[in-house]
Structure 1
């Protein structure tokens, strides 16, 4: 009897975790879903959003409920499901006012899905970089498609971090070859780092190691070129002193 009265008066409440009663209004149900999401009551939030989608499919809140479900999965760190939800939203509502938000959240979900560093596991630079590369593609796509978005500045900062991560991995591989005196392979990786990820923060270190690789290969002209570039383009880099010392001896 009480539940019926609550429904008739347009109210809803949580009976137990994940169990809800609904309002008769699309916006009220959507707002309750948002409130549940912000409070971390994910099962309740999804139920409200799904109710809006199926009971009020022609309301303004129906599309927003699709976003709400994706946001809930994102908040639960279920990034694959979140990405699928945001992509579905963009496919169904490409001109929606929240399209840039959905596109950014796709990129952000890829970024969040990058493996982290844990004490008991190898550093992320030593792991497979598939997730990092996927994040880079997604973030770059967003920046290109929505240059005027309010999320563009944040996306550019994250894109720079992604490039730094990829550059760190290339440097790790180069070090692997250097330690084994595979100078040509090391030089190839270091050149890749410098060409593909300029400004990553590893430029000076890469140029110094590249010069040493060339010296080991008895390619003194290339070594001098790398050292001179380090000194000229990165005068504040900690590697400059060693570069000057090597250059004076070549």
Structure 2
């Protein structure tokens, strides 16, 4: 009987939560509703802004505010850490507005959204730096910022994109270094060499590239390859950590 009561209460609570949005968002003209959403954005009230913008988007999908509503939602989703929704809204906006005057900003926000997906709440909470975690969001962010620079070299967001690409390049290089070190510790000497060479080829101007030389040196010693070992030792002398 107690289990049934708890289940019923939970169901009621969920239903109340699902129906609360329409009660919270007033039935007012679109201009007033957008003004309310804009005020919430300015105040940093992301959840309130999202509620009003989503309502405006659903009630007036082809209205005078439709483009700006989507742009505001992209920003609000990012600030509220609703990253999947932000990415979906970016895709939708690009489909509907392929040559919009703010396309550079949308591409910049895609990069920021991908970059934010590279971290996790637990990493932030405990200040943990895990270079061995899946780097795919970082790769996506790097591609987004690179595309921004290629398409809009004079964009106001270009300089920040360049700075973020430097950070992301180091992030990706550190991941590859962690993989190379993993192979070394597992005595997979050839794999350790191959991964180190990849780092030096793709991320030559990073600290990880210099550190990978030591991994190659150890691997060549284990493989008994004198000529590559001698070359690597010279390379190590020329590239001190």
* Alignment TM-score, normalising by the size of structure 2: 0.77
Distance 2:226 2:61 in 1: 73
Match of 1:173 in 2: 179
Aligned-residue offset at 1:23 = 6.4
Match of 2:219 in 1: 213
92 and 190 in structure 1: CA distance in 2 versus 1, 3 angstrom threshold: same
Q: How does 1:39-54 map to 2 (within 5 A)?
A: 39-50=43-54, 52-53=56-57, 54=59
Distance 2:127 2:152 in 1: 37
Unaligned residue ranges in structure 1 (runs of 5+): 1-15, 239-250
Distance 2:143 2:69 in 1: 27
80 and 50 in structure 1: CA distance in 2 versus 1, 3 angstrom threshold: closer
Aligned-residue offset at 1:41 = 2.5
Tell me if structure 2 keeps the 8 A contact 1:186–1:210.
Answer: yes
Match of 1:110 in 2: 114
Match of 2:98 in 1: 94
Structure with bigger RCO (C-alpha 8 Å, 6+ apart):
2
Tell me if structure 1 keeps the 8 A contact 2:74–2:109.
Answer: no
**Which range is displaced more, 74-83 or 137-146?**
137-146
2:74 corresponds to 1:78 = no
* Aligned pairs, number: 218
Tell me if structure 2 keeps the 8 A contact 1:19–1:44.
Answer: no
Match of 1:19 in 2: 24
Distance 2:143 2:46 in 1: 30
Match of 1:11 in 2: none
Which structure features the higher share of helix residues? Answer: 2
Match of 2:7 in 1: none
Match of 1:64 in 2: 68
Match of 1:184 in 2: 190
Partner of 1:202: helix, strand, or coil? Answer: helix
Q: What do you get for the CA RMSD once the two structures are aligned?
A: 2.9
Larger of the two Rg values belongs to structure? 1
Aligned-residue offset at 1:119 = 7.9
220 and 113 in structure 1: CA distance in 2 versus 1, 3 angstrom threshold: same
Match of 1:4 in 2: none
Q: How does 1:120-135 map to 2 (within 5 A)?
A: 123-135=129-141
Tell me if structure 2 keeps the 8 A contact 1:177–1:183.
Answer: yes
Tell me if structure 2 keeps the 8 A contact 1:87–1:106.
Answer: no
Q: How does 1:157-172 map to 2 (within 5 A)?
A: 157-172=163-178
Distance 2:187 2:193 in 1: 11
Partner of 1:125: helix, strand, or coil? Answer: coil
Tell me if structure 1 keeps the 8 A contact 2:56–2:69.
Answer: yes
Distance 2:234 2:78 in 1: 48
Distance 2:141 2:66 in 1: 29
Task: Describe the superposition over 1:182-220 as per-residue Cα deviations: whole angstroms up to 9, x where unpaired.
Answer: 322211111111112221221221112212322322222
Tell me if structure 2 keeps the 8 A contact 1:160–1:200.
Answer: no
Distance 1:212 1:130 in 2: 29
